């Protein structure tokens, strides 16, 4: 894949995919642990994206050559390149809302899971820049959590339930 010849990208790519596999495993055995891990990942992503969007928005153009498709590269080099802070700020806010939903229950939690799945699948075509297939693996893990129909807040454990 394009981009993996860069040692830094390769290391981050491997780490991201290992973490995604561990999170998929957690979706089978420990859904609450997965929710906590998702909370951490989306908070970290939101903070990082907001920080970079404000401090060094051109950072996002460094990986604009990595997407799988010419269509994605065209978007990144076109409209996106002129509105980086706006787009990345929107994405960072979206990531923060997904993180908050991991703390909650009911329809807000379900909307956060669905939003997370949509987001992860939407960035998959970015290739190495999104650590593909990490995003698809995480989307599957989120889908599994949605199927469990978690009924508690993250910090509450019903009697007889495993953490």
**Residue spans of alpha helices (H) in the chain:** 7-29, 31-55, 70-75, 81-82, 84-103, 106-123, 134-148
Q: Is the pLDDT of residue 10 over 60?
A: yes
Instruction: Give the pLDDT confidence of 17-42 residue by residue, as tens digits.
Output: 999 999 999 988 888 889 999 999 99
Q: What is the pTM of this model?
A: 0.86
Q: Is the pLDDT of residue 158 over 70?
A: no
Q: 47-60 burial by CB neighbour count: b if 16+ within 10 A, else e?
A: eebbebbeeebeeb
Top-confidence residue, 146 or 139 = 139
* Start-to-end C-alpha separation, the chain: 38
Instruction: Give the pLDDT confidence of 47-105 residue by residue, as tens digits.
Output: 999 999 999 998 888 877 777 778 888 888 899 999 999 999 999 999 999 999 999 98
For residue 153, cis peptide bond before it (omega within 30 degrees of 0): no
pLDDT at 160: 59
């Amino acid at each position: 894949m394009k981009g993996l010849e860069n040692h830094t990208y390769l290391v981050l790519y491997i780490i991201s995919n290992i973490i995604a596999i561990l999170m998929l495993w957690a979706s089978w055995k420990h859904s609450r642990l997965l929710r906590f891990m998702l909370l951490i990942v989306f908070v970290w992503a939101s903070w990082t994206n907001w920080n970079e969007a404000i401090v060094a928005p051109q950072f996002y153009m460094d990986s604009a050559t990595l997407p799988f498709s010419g269509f994605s590269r065209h978007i990144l080099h076109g409209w996106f390149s002129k509105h980086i802070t706006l787009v990345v700020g929107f994405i960072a806010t979206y990531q923060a809302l997904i993180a908050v939903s991991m703390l909650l229950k009911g329809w807000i939690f379900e909307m956060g899971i669905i939003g997370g799945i949509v987001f992860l699948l939407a960035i998959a075509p970015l290739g190495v820049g999104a650590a593909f297939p990490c995003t698809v693996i995480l989307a599957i893990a989120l889908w599994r959590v949605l199927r469990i129909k978690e009924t508690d807040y993250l910090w509450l454990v019903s009697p007889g339930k495993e953490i």
